[in-house]
């Protein structure tokens, strides 16, 4: 008799994952990156929960609506998803960096040697004017609109070859004026 993880894994691959996403998972070694960057507990694998949530974006559904629909419902519940998303043991920045490096290596192999890839550092304002009780919310100066706003400064590092843009790392920065 198969255990619960094998049953769910076959369910996930057989019915839920699109063929394009399966190719993407193999190209960037998604399962390996998740195993190295996210702590796995007993029960469902991190890969299964991550893929389920990722595919929901392309199905234009939220988890609750899908779980009550009765059609191809997940084998795990809402508490598993919330524990997965809120776990302090997942290193999402390391995961994003590993994924980005694999994707960049794949893109570089497709482009000619004459085409140069560059790293872009972007310093944008992340506006949260409607929020009141958000952790580390502060006032930052928006140089585009020439005024102070509530929010964060979002520092992003990305790689581009002129056609594609792959985010590599990010940080939300506040100011000394914490609200």
Total-model pTM? 0.71
pLDDT in tens, the chain (179 residues): 334 344 444 444 445 567 777 888 888 888 889 888 888 776 788 888 888 888 787 777 777 777 777 676 777 778 888 888 888 888 889 999 999 999 999 888 888 888 888 999 998 998 888 887 888 888 888 888 999 888 888 899 999 988 889 999 988 887 776 66
Measured CA distances, 78 to 27, 55, 70, 75 (Å): 30, 16, 15, 10
Closest CA to 149 of 132, 172, 128, 124: 128
Using alpha carbons only, give the angle 81, 134, 78 rounded to the nearest 5 degrees. 10
> Which of 167, 54, 156, 155 is closest to 104 using CA atoms?
167
Q: Are strands 118-127 and 147-160 parallel, antiparallel or unpaired?
A: antiparallel
pLDDT at 68: 73
The angle subtended at Cα 5 by Cα 92 and Cα 39, nearest 5°, is: 25
pLDDT score, position 64:
76
Q: Using DSSP, state whether 47 is helix, strand or coil.
A: helix
Orientation angle between helical segments 46-58 and 4-11, nearest 10 degrees: 20
Q: In this structure, what DSSP letter does residue 135 have? A: T
Per-residue model confidence (pLDDT) at position 113: 80
Neighbouring-strand partners of residue 3? none
pLDDT for residue 78: 80
């Amino acid at each position: 008799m198969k255990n619960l993880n094998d049953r769910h894994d076959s369910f996930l691959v057989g019915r839920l994952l699109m063929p394009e996403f399966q190719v993407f998972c193999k190209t960037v070694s998604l399962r390996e990156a998740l195993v190295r960057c996210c702590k796995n507990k007993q029960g469902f694998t991190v890969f299964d929960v991550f893929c389920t949530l990722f595919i929901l974006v392309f199905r234009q559904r939220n988890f609750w609506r899908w779980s009550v629909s009765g059609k191809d419902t997940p084998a795990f519940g809402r508490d598993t998803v919330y524990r997965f998303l809120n776990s302090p043991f997942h290193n999402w920045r390391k995961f994003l960096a590993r994924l980005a490096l694999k994707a960049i290596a794949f893109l570089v192999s497709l482009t000619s040697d004459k085409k140069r890839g560059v790293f872009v550092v972007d310093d944008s304002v992340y506006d949260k004017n409607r929020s009141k009780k958000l952790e580390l919310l502060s006032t930052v100066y928006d140089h585009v609109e020439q005024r102070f706003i509530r929010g964060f400064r979002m520092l992003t590092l990305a790689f581009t070859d002129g056609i594609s843009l792959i985010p590599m790392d990010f940080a939300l920065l506040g100011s000394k004026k914490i609200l």
